[in-house]
Structure 1
Amino acid sequence: MQNIALDIRDRARGRGARVAMRHKSDGRWLEITYAELDATVERIAAGLVRLGVAPGDRVALFAPNMPAWTLCDLAVLSVGAVTVPVYVTCTAEQVAAVVEDSGASVLIAGTPQEAVTAAGAAAGRILILCEGVVPAQTPGAIALTALAAAAIEPGTAAELRRREAAASDDDLATIIYTSGTTGDPKGVRLTHANFRCQFASLDRRFVFGPDDHSLCFLPLSHVYERAWSYYVYLTGARNSFVADPKQVVAYLAEVRPTAMVSAPRLYEKVHTAVHEKIDHAPRLRRTLFHWAVRTGGAYQAADRGRRAGPVLKLRHAVADRLVLRKIRDLMGGPKTVLSAGGAPLSSDIENFFLAADLLICQGYGLTETAPMITCNAPAACRFGTVGRPIDGVEVRISDEGEILVRGPNVTAGYHNRPAETAAALRDGWLHTGDVGHLDADGYLVVTDRIKDLIVTSTGKKVAPQRIETLVGGDHFIDQLAVVGDRRQYVSALVVPAFEALKAWAQEKRIVFRDHEDLIGKPEVVQLMEERIRSRSQQLAPFETIRKFTLLARQFTQQTGEITPTLKVRRKVIAERYRHFIDRMYN
């Protein structure tokens, strides 16, 4: 069977002028058709062959989301080589570590900025620059445009056809380095078959096809967006690229995609923005908003309106026209696929969007499973869970409560890490390191990472992610890190949502100089205490946040406090904020 890249290209040739990709340049949307996708990938692949890239060679790809990312990835796979994605947020040292560990012989940089960062890692290797002027620090870099512009010699064309004939789904497709919340990143080895096995489940669970339009804004270096984008091209839909994730809300309104995969952070931001605006609206408008959301919830609870009576239908039509449609417009209109993964999403946010007829289907996956293990679907969605296992994948819970996975999506192991491979793959099952349970109908509930579980000094086990999801869903809270391991009670480091907090403070006529001054105001501390208490009602007494410390700045990737997928690095935070943490227990 052909590998994924060759399958995408084979289908592309039958789609001609249909748009495959869109990206914005100098304020204009530029389009790449499926015919152009295939032809460009062919030229880049020929250039890689001329450079001596052989089947099995590793090619590091260090670029932001852009068409060239996917075009280069497909070209690498087309020649039988292996793509090694690198997050654009990585430092020069981190890039060098990935390139060295993977044994990459070629490094592709997206822009001059990435080329400069990767200059040290590229020493002694071939460096290709996707766009922009070759910087002085990397004078030997090859421009991708020049590589792709060269004529394809008959011998090179024959070599490409030979490699295509030899391609197999069992070939290694990629080595993806995990973002590493607990230790050094490990290179996960995934074959084409690992990716491909999940696409049939997507076909069965979602109605998605050539007329759909996806927004690509999660990092393509992460397996979630990359696997989804493969599916977009296999179905003949189109993908619009967002180079700067901070602009995604603006892009939603402009692009109006019918589908996208996302981390919970986007939904939390939109939810917060809406509630910030409503909190400062006149009383009548606030009342109307909350009535409309309640009405939307009641309508959806009536079998998504199918069992709604005439009065509820009329009320819903009014609520939709006045309020709910505007919420959908913030998200770019109706959706055929709206997914969340990578972290838990609070039920408050799920219900809020459902009231506006935006069903967010949570799923669960890992880099080690390419990534899908389970997912909810429009016809079978249970809030508070991450859905049922996809076709061909088995999930069971160990005696210790760990989630175990077996199936064709599971990696064969970690690159150059035999000990870690043996520890993760035991008795034919992948040990995920996550704690959870299956309900009576086979829906999976994920509690937390085993290594993240807090055990208090009284012996109580606390899952910090659950608390962070519940309490962190408040629109006055931006980030939250729960602490308390081997301590008497649970505490938290809290980064306020400063835009909302500053608006509240100004409304209350509280004078402040800066963030540091603001979080020290007694009124602010009291407000945050009330918000945390109100969000903690579903928690057991031993899970409740007893004390908290407000922080004046965000946790960032640059400081190593969160991963590229926005997960908290607890060990780093525990060490860096030890003084604040100790003070909450003294």
Structure 2
Amino acid sequence: MTHHQNVNYEKEFEEYLTREKHLALMVLARAKKYGDSKIAVRHKAYGQWEAFTWKQFGELIESAAKGLLSFGVKEFDFIGIFSNNRVEWAVVDYASFAVRACSVPVYATNSAKELEYIVNDCGIRILFVEKQEHYDKAMSIIDPSKTLEKIIVFDRNTKIANDPRVMLFDDFIAMGKKSGLDAKLQERLAKVQSDDLSTLIYTSGTTGEPKGVMLTHKNWFAMLFGTGYHIPVEPTDVNLAFLPLSHVFERAWSYFILCNDAQVDYCHDTKALLDFLKESRPHFMCSVPRMWEKVYGTIMDGIKSAPPAKQKLFNWALEIGGKYQYLKKDHKPIPLGLKFKHAIATKLVLHKIRDLFGGRNKVFNCGGSAFSGEISEFFFKAGVFILQGYGMTECFVICVSNPERNKFGTCGPVVPLMQVRISPEGEIQAKGPSMTQGYWNKPELTKSLFTEDGWIKTGDVGFIDSEGFITVTDRIKDLFKTSGGKYIAPQQIETLFKEDIYFEQAAAIGDGRKFVSALIVPAFEPLEKWAKKNNIEFSTREELVKHPEVIKFYRERIDYLTRDLGQVEQIKKFTLLPHEFTQENGEITPTQKIRRKVINEHYKDIIEAMYAE
């Protein structure tokens, strides 16, 4: 916090807000400024990269906006977007803003039932869907819905019914283009304000039904201002939008990139991430810990089985990388000898790690759940900067590391304009111009989100160190007490497993119990390879997880990974599950967070068996 005492953030933010005002104006001003001279966005929706210049992007947004006006969209109507990341997603988002309406994203992985809840909760009339699976889900809810009138489909290969309520996006754009509603669009644009409601983001929440978080344009600009204050972006930079745009993190960051005149490449398929990285070669990307844990696990597993000389070279290269990067980060001179060694280390080892991510990386933000400082430091030594941040849809961003101020294992320093305090119970509470005014249509829940004096209750336990860095320990709701009265933070235990290639998911159990146990979902691909290598015969996953050799193998790994935990936190017993926790079964949220209540319910018998003496 000490670095910028002479900076008046409030005044700077006011000037920024006066200049940009509204996200529709922001994007259309860029389209006008750059025309065909520069690419704004790209995607691979049909297998090949397709690029759109600022002019093309701007024209698509204006045509879509006029299409919405043709359908009689009024100010502050809600427009649904049920799709993976692609250019059309952004077009509809900005087009909704341009007619002073609000966009409502739905996670592409949501079920028809979850979609229906959102459509009915805020009364969506027009819903944009991506492809067959989304279209089919939307069609299954249109008849019973009181409000849903139109379904517009992005993917032109979707088989759609001959139904006046349905149309392809291409036709929708053509309709908007021919509508002659330019004057009406200009009229709407002339009325927009920074305090206009822009969106509802339904947070899945690990408990209860989804809640629509209301965010204004001013809220978004406060996020962009705070997050980006210490992260410089050049107009020549490329961002890979890998996390779902339905999540506040990716959406805010993609707005920030376009607001800085840079380019966004949309990734529609997270399973093909490594290909996208090679082709897009992004300077920036938002990520979640799971991605880094998997890459780290794979690299470390490969090193463990490498010949000793190779292992030695690898460790030497990392050590040199660390010395070099720490000096560089602190703006200290780098001795010539170290520069020379670093060049060799890069050539022989480190470039291979950087190249996985396309080799141009400046900063990869990471957030969404607990993340190991050890993994973050490993990549730092290899020249890949992962900056951890922390926030919630209701109040984003609270803190984020930046290239100058970064402490592994923390979520970084508090961002400009945000105030943070820790309640007597240890809860992180925050206040700032990016915070929501509340949940759509849910006055009671809105009231319980705030303290008496108007701060947001994050529901997270954590602390702030003497330099202003925040560390989050766990969700208050997730902390549990053993029958011996000891408080346990399950996320801290579960995070330890994630850096191991053989673990896919884990849930620590132990509320009111004598000891801590765990349900473990193995990563079956590496486990099956290991089993074949060790001549373990199995015909199903059920057989595999019950095999004594496999159980012994996991027991040893668990003991090793949890070696630094206190006696009470040690995993005394565990059960390997033959299948993953899924969103369909309600066991995890769309952002892969564990719903503990559901898991305790679904696996009741297995859990009881671990405690039966």
TM-score with structure 2 setting the length: 0.92
Q: Deviations over 1:262-305 (max 9, x none)?
A: 11111111112222333333343333323323332343344559
Q: Deviations over 1:497-530 (max 9, x none)?
A: 2222223233333333332222222222222112
**Cα–Cα, structure 1 residues 498 and 155, in superposed 2: closer, same or farther, change >3 Å?**
closer
Write the letter of the residue equivalent to 1:232: I
**Which of 553, 563, 569 is the aligned partner of 2:579?**
553
Written as runs of structure 1 = structure 2, the 5 A alignment for 1:466-505 is: 466-505=492-531
Aligned to 2:12: none
C-alpha distance in 2 between matches for 1:433 and 1:191:
23
Aligned to 1:15: 34
C-alpha distance in 2 between matches for 1:179 and 1:25:
26
**Cα–Cα, structure 1 residues 537 and 314, in superposed 2: closer, same or farther, change >3 Å?**
farther
C-alpha distance in 2 between matches for 1:121 and 1:520:
42
> Does 2:488 match 1:462?
yes
C-alpha distance in 2 between matches for 1:514 and 1:254:
37
- Report the CA distance between 1:583 and its aligned residue: 1.4
**Cα–Cα, structure 1 residues 303 and 32, in superposed 2: closer, same or farther, change >3 Å?**
closer
- Report the CA distance between 1:495 and its aligned residue: 1.3
**Cα–Cα, structure 1 residues 102 and 390, in superposed 2: closer, same or farther, change >3 Å?**
same
- Report the CA distance between 1:336 and its aligned residue: 1.7
Written as runs of structure 1 = structure 2, the 5 A alignment for 1:520-559 is: 520-559=546-585
Aligned to 1:6: 25
C-alpha distance in 2 between matches for 1:177 and 1:342:
15
**Which of 267, 282, 288 is the aligned partner of 2:313?**
288
Alignment check: 8 A CA contact 2:101 2:198 kept: yes
Aligned to 1:278: 303
Structure 2: stretches of 5+ with no match in the other structure:
1-17
C-alpha distance in 1 between matches for 2:234 and 2:607:
51
Alignment check: 8 A CA contact 1:198 1:391 kept: no
- Report the CA distance between 1:120 and its aligned residue: 3.4
C-alpha distance in 2 between matches for 1:331 and 1:407:
34
C-alpha distance in 2 between matches for 1:200 and 1:186:
26
Aligned to 2:445: 420
> Does 2:250 match 1:231?
no
TM-score with structure 1 setting the length: 0.96
Identity %: 42
**Which of 356, 371, 384 is the aligned partner of 1:345?**
371
Alignment check: 8 A CA contact 1:207 1:336 kept: no
Aligned to 1:127: 151
Alignment check: 8 A CA contact 1:252 1:332 kept: yes
Aligned to 1:449: 475
Alignment check: 8 A CA contact 2:290 2:498 kept: no
More displaced stretch, 110-119 vs 260-269: 110-119
SS at match of 2:213: strand
Alignment check: 8 A CA contact 1:334 1:358 kept: no
Aligned to 2:247: 222
SS at match of 2:229: helix
C-alpha distance in 1 between matches for 2:193 and 2:103:
16
Aligned to 2:71: 51
Aligned to 1:268: 293
C-alpha distance in 1 between matches for 2:447 and 2:45:
47
Alignment check: 8 A CA contact 1:116 1:137 kept: no
C-alpha distance in 2 between matches for 1:151 and 1:399:
56
SS at match of 1:205: coil
Written as runs of structure 1 = structure 2, the 5 A alignment for 1:1-400 is: 1=18, 2-17=21-36, 18-123=38-143, 124-132=148-156, 133-136=158-161, 140-150=165-175, 152=177, 156-302=181-327, 304=329, 306=332, 309-369=335-395, 371-400=396-425
Write the letter of the residue equivalent to 1:183: G
C-alpha distance in 2 between matches for 1:395 and 1:336:
28
SS at match of 2:573: strand
SS at match of 1:142: strand
C-alpha distance in 2 between matches for 1:374 and 1:516:
43
Write the letter of the residue equivalent to 1:105: R
C-alpha distance in 2 between matches for 1:299 and 1:520:
47
More displaced stretch, 72-81 vs 543-552: 543-552
Figure out how many residues of one structure are paired with residues of the other and give that number: 585
Q: Deviations over 1:302-344 (max 9, x none)?
A: 4559455555444333222111110111122132221100001
C-alpha distance in 2 between matches for 1:283 and 1:347:
26
Write the letter of the residue equivalent to 2:493: I
**Cα–Cα, structure 1 residues 439 and 26, in superposed 2: closer, same or farther, change >3 Å?**
same
- Report the CA distance between 1:234 and its aligned residue: 0.9
Q: Deviations over 1:228-285 (max 9, x none)?
A: 1111111111111111111112211222111101111111111122223333333433
Write the letter of the residue equivalent to 2:25: L
More displaced stretch, 162-171 vs 536-545: 536-545
C-alpha distance in 2 between matches for 1:154 and 1:104:
23
- Report the CA distance between 1:208 and its aligned residue: 1.1
C-alpha distance in 2 between matches for 1:86 and 1:263:
19
C-alpha distance in 2 between matches for 1:25 and 1:404:
41
SS at match of 1:481: strand
Structure 1: stretches of 5+ with no match in the other structure:
none
C-alpha distance in 1 between matches for 2:548 and 2:177:
71
SS at match of 1:113: helix
